[in-house]
């Protein structure tokens, strides 16, 4: 009987040690969050979300980009609502650099489009559009309003249309197919204008 009691006590002690070891490793995993500047309350909330090891450096990077604790928690929560881990720190950071507010980015996250819109915003910027125009186009996308793809906007711009003219066409509901037709027409007119020739006069 005594040996069984000792065995039982030993089992409890071993279980406690193992539990303590697991908790110790678990707490160590969260150190990057504390180093990034998260409050203990925010870290506790992230623990309750059962974030994965892969998410921790991503979340820490958000903080380094200047996001508030509240926004970081909301971005992670939105990812989990859409059934995937949070991995959009760089995309969110690029959007901040492009002039978008945290509320703008949260609206994108609510639709699970942070990565998609970030790529589109960067492409529109590379096309040479002003920040105001890029934000206008992204706002339309977030609001679910029709807009042109960056590829067609680029082609229209290359035919000589100004940003104002492109926005006017978008406001009028121009589709990619209609843009393609206008691009073809404008390119045809331009090419025809470049085929003029001077008639040669023979000497008498």
Segment 108-123, tens digit of pLDDT: 999 999 999 999 888 9
Q: Looking at the predicted structure, is the pLDDT value of residue 19 above 60?
A: no
Tell me: do 48 and 74 sit in the same domain.
yes
Q: Are residues 133 and 151 in the same domain?
A: no
Q: Are residues 153 and 140 in the same domain?
A: no
Assess whether 110 and 163 both reside in one domain.
no
Q: Write down the pLDDT at residue 195.
A: 64
Summarize the confidence of residues 192-199 as an average pLDDT.
61
Is residue 104 a part of any domain in this protein? yes
Residue 196's pLDDT band, with cuts at 50, 70 and 90, is: low
Q: Which of 144, 85, 137 is nearest to 111 (CA)?
A: 144
Q: Are residues 87 and 175 in the same domain?
A: no
Whether 58 is in a domain gets the answer: yes
Looking at the domain assignment, is residue 27 inside a domain?
A: no
Q: Are residues 55 and 100 in the same domain?
A: yes
Confidence bin at 138 (pLDDT 50/70/90): confident
Residues 87 and 168 in one domain: no
Residue at 28 is within a domain: no
Domain count, the chain: 2
Asked if 124 and 157 sit in the same domain, the reply is: no
Q: Are residues 133 and 176 in the same domain?
A: no
Q: How confident is the model at residue 50 (pLDDT cuts 50, 70, 90)?
A: very high
Residue 68 sits in which domain range?
Answer: 40-144
Query: 124-133, pLDDT tens digit by residue?
Result: 988 999 988 9
Give a yes or no: residue 138 inside a domain. Answer: yes
pLDDT score for 166: 95
Percent of the chain with pLDDT over 70: 82
DSSP 198: P
122 and 66 within one domain: yes
Same domain, 53 and 126: yes
- The model's pTM is 0.70
Whether 57 and 139 share a structural domain: yes
Read off the pLDDT of each residue in 42-68 and give the average, rounded to a whole number.
96
Sorted by sequence, the CB contacts under 8 Å of residue 75 that are 6+ apart come out as 62, 67, 86, 88, 92, 105, 106, 109, 114
Structure confidence at residue 22 (pLDDT) = 45
61 located within any domain: yes
pLDDT of residue 144: 85
Is position 200 within any domain? Answer: no
């Amino acid at each position: 009987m005594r040996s069984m009691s000792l065995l039982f006590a030993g089992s409890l002690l071993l279980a406690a040690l193992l539990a303590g070891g697991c908790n110790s490793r678990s707490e160590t995993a969260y150190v990057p969050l504390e180093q990034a500047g998260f409050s203990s309350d925010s870290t506790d909330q992230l623990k309750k979300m059962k974030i994965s090891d892969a998410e921790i450096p991503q979340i820490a990077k958000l903080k380094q980009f200047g996001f508030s604790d509240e926004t970081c928690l909301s971005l992670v929560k939105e990812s989990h609502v859409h059934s995937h881990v949070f991995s959009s720190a760089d995309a969110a950071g690029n959007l901040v650099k492009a002039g978008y507010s945290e509320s703008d980015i949260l609206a994108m996250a609510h639709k699970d489009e942070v990565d998609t819109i970030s790529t589109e915003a960067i492409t529109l910027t590379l096309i040479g559009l002003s920040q105001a125009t890029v934000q206008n186009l992204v706002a339309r996308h977030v609001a679910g309003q029709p807009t042109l793809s960056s590829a067609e906007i680029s082609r229209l711009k290359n035919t000589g249309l100004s940003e104002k003219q492109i926005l006017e066409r978008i406001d009028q509901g121009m589709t990619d197919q209609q843009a393609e037709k206008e691009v073809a027409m404008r390119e045809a007119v331009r090419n025809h204008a470049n085929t003029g020739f001077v008639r040669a006069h023979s000497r008498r």
